[in-house]
Amino acid sequence: MTTQPPFDVLKPAIYDVTQIQELLPHRPPFLFVDKIIDMDAEHVVGVKNVTMNESFFVGHFPGEPVFPGVIQIEAMAQTGGILALSSVDNPKDYITLFAKIDKVKFRNKVVPGDTIVFSLKLLSPIRRGIVNMSGTAYVGNEIVLEAEMMAILTKKDQ
């Protein structure tokens, strides 16, 4: 499915990977967001550069590398987590936990060399730590993934 993405990929980063690590608890090899290029109180746009250096390409699939769908979902969730965590004071004191994934559609495969851009928006205001988002992932002008997800924003050690 071809469409005009609702963002400008040439915008400078709002958060680079170092700044992202100040918000998210994830670390390599399980950090799947390279930069944030747009964000306000209700939406966020993040970028993941897919390289052949990712360890999962050894087995997924030899001779025909495909970026795993579950990792795409995780990258989308991490992008949404940046928006959720930026909404609280002292984000280092919080984590986001998956609660639900719904309406997932993989539209095209993603391969090394692709750049995935995740565009997420809140479906409702964050209340009591419940975060509901809708997301679309693009490679160029092609939609590669769509999903709705729910997370719980909670203090660490609870």
What is the reported pLDDT for 6?
81
What CATH architecture is 17-113+121-155? Roll (3.10)
Q: Smallest Cα–Cα separation from 39: which of 76, 79, 88?
A: 79
Q: Per-residue pLDDT tens for 13-44?
A: 999 999 999 999 999 999 999 999 999 999 99
Domains of the chain: which residue ranges? 17-113+121-155
pLDDT of residue 11: 84
Model confidence pLDDT, tens digit, residues 38-84? 999 999 999 999 999 999 999 999 999 999 999 999 999 999 999 99
Write down the pTM of the prediction: 0.95
Which tens digits make up the pLDDT trace of 94-108?
999 999 999 999 999
Residue 31 pLDDT: 98
Confidence at residue 140, expressed as pLDDT on a 0 to 100 scale: 95
23, 35 contact by CB (below 8 A): no
How many whole angstroms separate alpha carbon 82 and alpha carbon 66? 26
| Structure-model confidence comparison of residues 5 and 76, the more confident one | 76
Query: What integer pLDDT is reported at residue 9 of this predicted model?
Result: 81
User: Which residues are identified as catalytic?
Assistant: 60
Q: How far apart are CA 152 and CA 97, in angstroms?
A: 5
